[in-house]
Amino acid sequence: MGEEHQYLFIDFEFTMPEKGSAFRGFFPEIIEAGIVSVIGNQVCEEFSSYVTPVRFPKLSERCKSFLHITQEQVDQGIDFLELVKKMIDMNRNRPCTIVTWGNMDMKVLRNNCTHAGVDFPFRGREVDLSMEYKRFFGDQNQTGLWKAVQEYGKEGTGKHHRALDDALTTYNIFRLVEKDKKYLQKPEPTTIGDRVDFSKLFNKFA
């Protein structure tokens, strides 16, 4: 029997330029990573770290304000190549599904790998849970992560725009959606014997 399937729930926070200003050659770089490994419906590992950007090491005021991240935090983070190594370790060459909320996380990761001259660290199916959520509920627009969890009458885990908290919140929504999918699957048709208690009926006429 093969190894159990692993789900990796991933969230990254990225650098952003000042509003209305153009950084020559700017591209978003990962500055915080949150990863949750789930095997057999059990959380096996959680990883969280700040990451030091390479191309634009100085954070914009907008980025610091929006993400509540300080320059000191990213300066003391791991470098991008360490993050890639960690992701390769977590992939573990086992059957794997990568789950993110939106498609930006994997786009930015691929772009950062290209700029760093390293291979993309994941092998396996990639799922954009926000699109699954949109299709499942028939929404016209994509829903934000924390709005989605609130629509379930729940609250997000920890603080929004903290990578690990958002990765855990993505996992929680995934569980809720999967539960709803099972609930909506057509049950086996009931027989008349399931609907009527014949023992009581026979006793009545005995």
- Give me the residue label for tokens 């299709």: 135
Which runs of E-coded beta strand occur in the chain?
6-14, 30-39, 42-50, 96-100, 125-128
User: Rounded distance, CA 77 to CA 1, Å?
Assistant: 40
Active-site entry in 3, 4, 13, 188: 13
Alpha-carbon gap, residue 173 to 9, rounded angstroms: 11
Question: Which residues, 6 or more positions from 81, have their beta carbon under 8 angstroms from its beta carbon?
Answer: 116, 118
Specify whether 68 is catalytic: no
- Give me the catalytic one of 126, 161, 178, 188: 161
User: Amino acid identity, residue 125?
Assistant: R
161 catalytically annotated? yes
Known catalytic residues are: 13, 161
